Each structure stands twice: as C-alpha cells, then as structure tokens.
Amino acid sequence: MGFTFMDGNEAVVQGAVYAGCRFFAGYPITPATTILSGMLQALPPLGGIVLQGEDEISSIGYCLGASMAGLKAMTATSGPGISLYSENISFAVGSEIPLVIVNVMRQGPSTGAATRGADGDVQFMRWGHSGGLPVVVLAPTCAADCFTLTVHAFNLAERLRCPVFVASSKEIGMTRETVDLEAVEKPPVVDRKTHEGGPYLPFAADAQGVPPFLPMGGPVPVRQTSSMHGPDGYITTNPVVMQAMVERLKAKVESPIDSFSFYEWDAQEAARTLIVTYGVTARSARAAVSRLRAQGHAVSLLVLKTLFPVPEKVLREAAATVERLLVVEANLGQYVHEVARVVCPTPTHFFGLMCGRMIRPEEIVREVIRAESS
C-alpha cells in the first residue's frame, strides 16, 4: 500500500474489496462508470462476480438476489439511476436485504450535467422509495473517506440488514489526489449475523431488532416476500403484526445512530457561528474557516459524514453555544431543513449553489459575514 494517486471511485472499489464485497452489478453512467470497470478488474481474481445489467433496474435486482444468496453486494450509479432503483430500494428495506448503493451525484435535475457535480439527491436518497422507512446515508468528502465510509457502509448493511448509500459526487468520484492507504482508517469488517440452529423464522428479530440470516438456496427453506409479512415470512394483513413490523424496521436503523454518527468537528472557543456542511463542499468550508479566523471571526465547523438517520445529538452538541448556524450545500437547500429542525430555535442560515462548479471559500466567507451582520 502506501501513498497512491487515486480518485474517489477507485477508493470505493478498494474499500468494497476490503469489506468483503464479492458481487457487483451496475449499468454504465457518468460519473459512476469507473466503479463498474474497477470492480470488473478487482473481483474476478478473488472469485467474485461482476455483471453489467441491461439497465439500472436489473442491476440492482441482481444485487438483491446475490445478497439473499449470502454474498456481500454493491451497485453504483448516479441520480437518474437512483430514480430507477426506487422500487428495489423499497424491496430491500421491507425484506431486510443488505446492500450498498454508491450514488456518484451529478448536477440535475433529470439527466442534468453528467460531467458536473452537485448534491441534489440528498433528500431523494432518504425518501425516494415507497413506505418512508429509514435508510442509512454516508457522505464522504474525499478519496480517503470513500475507502473508509464504503467499509462502514458494508458493515452497517450487514449489521442492520438494510440498504446503505454512499453519497459521493462527480467532484469526489473523478478527482485524483494522493491517499496514504496505510494511514487510512480501516474499520474491522462485520458480517451479517446468521441463524445458529433450531426452527428458522426468517423475520424473527434479535434484541437489536435485526433477524438472523440464512441464504436462500441452502438446506433450510427460506421464505421471502416483498409484501407485508410476519416473523414467519408469510403475507399478512393483521394490523397488529403490520404495525409491529414497520416500527421494528424504523427502530433498528434509527435507534443505534449514535454508534455510526461519523463527523469532523473543528470547534473554536467562543465561536458565534457554526458552519455545517458535508461532501466535497467541506473542503471549501475548511479553507473558509481558516480565512475567517485570520480575520478575527470566531467560527466553528461541523462536517457531517452521516446524513441519515440525522445525527441529532451531534448537531445539538455542536450548536449548543453558538448564536447562529450557516448550512452550506451544493444544492438549493435540502439538508438545511434537517439542521433547522434539530437546532430550533437557534437561527439557521443557508447558502447553496447547484450551477456545475464547487462552492468557493470566498463565497462562504462572505455568507458568514453577512449572517453575522443580519
């Protein structure tokens, strides 16, 4: 290992291999295509499988089948592909199928600008599937983060039996930079908990609300359905069973959020303003904070790397002593609403662009000064 010149997509590939991913399916789409080509080089020598689906719908479907058979599976796409993934994301949520989905976001809407980045899919990743139940969304800021957060994504998918997003962007995914792979955080790899014996009920949860796993196609029959079901896997319309199921699916993802609230908090004593951001915009925010402090402005910075479930404890602690917040996003205002909800009544300001270029440090400096004078 050592120092390597690599982009975020290459780091995702290496993180996935390290985490034990042995199945990948995807459809070519800028700016995520090099994850497909990278996995095509990486997995077959390890005995893994890579498929180019005929479209995005089939690609995620292949991944769900592979995961139900016991493989760690990943797919990668961009915003238009996430739209097509929607039904199968909901299937993964309701049927508790571990899956990692890498969304290398492009500027939108629709097919947008394929070679320009933005963070326009933030709320869509959380809410873009039927039923409204939670998923996990992790947001890297750089190539090194792409490695580490991809490992975390697999660990969480396995631990919680749910789909987990890695919310990258064109600027992260396709920009090369020096990464010290020996120094990069490498979380211990987690595998899904398996059934250890006795009668098997496919959706009978443990104390953490997560059912132990058995692969389909093995010696023990495993029932699976996309419809509402009870612990035995049979379809049900019993209101008590249905309510218990959806509450469990919600709680198993949201309750342990403090254990996977990933963030960077650069606190300054007596800071009056807290900048909150995520993704590649964090890099401009760090430069802006340095300039503001040099000019005599007391400013703190919170870079969120877990977006959903919302890390409310982190936000409240970071905002506890400031007079105002400035949320900076590469969109027209999506995560700012989550922040404002959590820190209310502390005033929350917003600055965002989605014009196909990154937000510049001087623009963040200007917005902080404007917020302080308002």
CATH number at residue 207: 3.40.50.970
> Are residues 216 and 277 located together in one domain of the fold?
no
Assess whether pLDDT exceeds 60 at residue 255.
yes
> Are residues 255 and 329 located together in one domain of the fold?
no
Last residue in a domain, options 260, 287, 317: 260
> Are residues 327 and 210 located together in one domain of the fold?
no
> Are residues 89 and 122 located together in one domain of the fold?
yes
Assess whether pLDDT exceeds 70 at residue 113.
yes
Assess whether pLDDT exceeds 90 at residue 374.
no
Q: Residue 357's domain is classified under what CATH number?
A: 3.40.50.920
Q: Which domain holds residue 277?
A: 264-373
Q: Give the model confidence (pLDDT) of 161-195 as tens digits.
A: 999 999 999 999 999 999 998 999 999 999 999 99
> Are residues 178 and 290 located together in one domain of the fold?
no
Q: Give the model confidence (pLDDT) of 79-111 as tens digits.
A: 999 999 999 999 999 999 999 999 999 999 999
> Are residues 201 and 294 located together in one domain of the fold?
no
Q: Give the model confidence (pLDDT) of 32-58 as tens digits.
A: 999 999 999 999 999 999 999 999 999
> Are residues 93 and 221 located together in one domain of the fold?
yes
Over residues 304-326, the mean pLDDT reads 98
What mean pLDDT is reported for the chain?
Answer: 97
**Which pLDDT score, from 0 to 100, does residue 198 have?**
86
HEC secondary structure over the chain: CCEEEECHHHHHHHHHHHHCCCEEEECCCCCCHHHHHHHHHHCHHHCCEEEECCCHHHHHHHHHHHHHCCCCEEEEECHHHHHHHHHHHHHHHHHCCCEEEEEEECECCCCCECCCCCCCCHHHHHHCCCCCCCCEEECCCCHHHHHHHHHHHHHHHHHHCCEEEEEEEHHHHCCCEEEECCCCCCCCCCCCCECCCCCCCCCCCCCCCCCCECCCCCCCCCCCCCCCECCCCCECCCHHHHHHHHHHHHHHHHCCHHHHCCEEEECCCCCCEEEEECCCHHHHHHHHHHHHHHCCCCEEEEEECEEECCCHHHHHHHHCCCCEEEEEECCCCCCHHHHHHHHCCCCEEEEECCCCCCCCHHHHHHHHHHHHHC
> Are residues 255 and 268 located together in one domain of the fold?
no
**Which pLDDT score, from 0 to 100, does residue 367 have?**
98
Assess whether pLDDT exceeds 70 at residue 201.
yes
Domain count, the chain: 2
If pLDDT is split at 50, 70 and 90, which confidence band does 278 have?
very high
**Which pLDDT score, from 0 to 100, does residue 1 have?**
57
> Are residues 277 and 249 located together in one domain of the fold?
no
> Are residues 112 and 150 located together in one domain of the fold?
yes
Last residue in a domain, options 260, 276, 297: 260
What pTM was computed for the model? Answer: 0.97
Assess whether pLDDT exceeds 80 at residue 2.
no
> Are residues 13 and 162 located together in one domain of the fold?
yes
Last residue in a domain, options 260, 278, 297: 260
> Are residues 68 and 193 located together in one domain of the fold?
yes
